[in-house]
Amino acid sequence: MKASPSNIKDIDKYYLDTYIRVPEVDPEDLFYVRSVQSTGLIVKSVLKQMEGLIHLSEESPYTIQNPLVNRAQWVSHGDSAFFVARIPARMWKKGVCSSNTRISKLSNLGGLSSESLSQAGLTALAKTPTYVYTLSHKKKGTSIFSKDWVLQHSTGRLYFLNFLVGKVSNNGKRVVIPREYAEITLPDVFKKSEVVYV
């Protein structure tokens, strides 16, 4: 959405109290919209933790984007992986907020635990995703292969979206997948792996 003084009511309705991306201000950060005024948006940066005013004008409108490009995707921060998904029934707010977005963190034991919009989860969402295209046998934590695929190294658990679909063993040389997931195409990183359906 183009943000300008002429559509300030729509901005207030759809983006107040949500996290947004404004590429013209900083393409690698998210902003929490604290207030919508006739002169602009009072926002707080997720990464820099600073408040500021995004001045709106008709001559050079800003682009407001939802930071969640896909309805559901894996993002990472440090060694942690987060599964971020929109809640379909609550999507009238266009920015990311706690009522329309669910963030789950992949634990060290391989399970998903739901969290609020934490600083770590928002930081992961703010940054451009970094995907891994090779298997590192000494890697700790997680490897995200695409927006859909993640591997939890300590347990060998392989997830497609938020579904546990397999187990990776022998440093990635073997992947065991239940038969009901046989139609899913594995990431290219497992091309040379032995795939066993059980």
Long-range contacts (CB closer than 8 Å, 24 or more residues apart) made by 152-157 = 152/81, 152/106, 152/108, 152/110, 154/108, 154/109, 154/110, 155/109, 155/110, 157/110
Residue 64 tokens, joined? 């407001």
Same domain, 109 and 184: yes
* pTM summary value: 0.84
Same domain, 172 and 150: yes
Strands 149-152 and 31-37: unpaired
Same domain, 77 and 114: yes
Q: In total, how many domains does the chain have?
A: 2
Same domain, 47 and 91: no
∠ Cα 194 79 136 (to 5°)? 35
Structural domain harbouring 125: 72-197
Tell me the C-alpha distance between 20 and 24, whole Å.
12
Same domain, 108 and 51: no
Same domain, 58 and 118: no
Same domain, 52 and 77: no
Q: Using the 3D structure, point to which of 63, 87, 104 is the last residue of a domain.
A: 63
Decide if 36 contacts 17 (C-beta within 8 A).
Answer: no
Same domain, 35 and 103: no
Same domain, 190 and 93: yes
Tell me the C-alpha distance between 174 and 112, whole Å.
23
Same domain, 59 and 77: no
What's CA 91's distance to the chain center, in Å? 16
Q: Using the 3D structure, point to which of 12, 40, 63 is the last residue of a domain.
A: 63
pLDDT at residue 124, rounded to an integer: 87
Tens of each residue's pLDDT in the chain, 198 residues? 999 999 999 999 999 999 999 999 999 999 999 999 988 999 999 999 999 999 999 999 999 998 888 889 999 887 788 999 988 766 678 899 988 899 999 987 778 888 888 888 888 888 877 787 777 655 677 888 889 999 988 888 999 999 999 999 877 889 999 999 999 999 988 988 999 999
> Rounded to the nearest 5°, which phi and psi values hold at 41?
-110, 130
Same domain, 43 and 135: no
Q: Is 190 helix (H, G, I), strand (E, B) or coil?
A: helix
**DSSP per-residue letters across 129-159:** P----S--TT--SEEE-SSSEEEETTTTEEE
Same domain, 113 and 185: yes
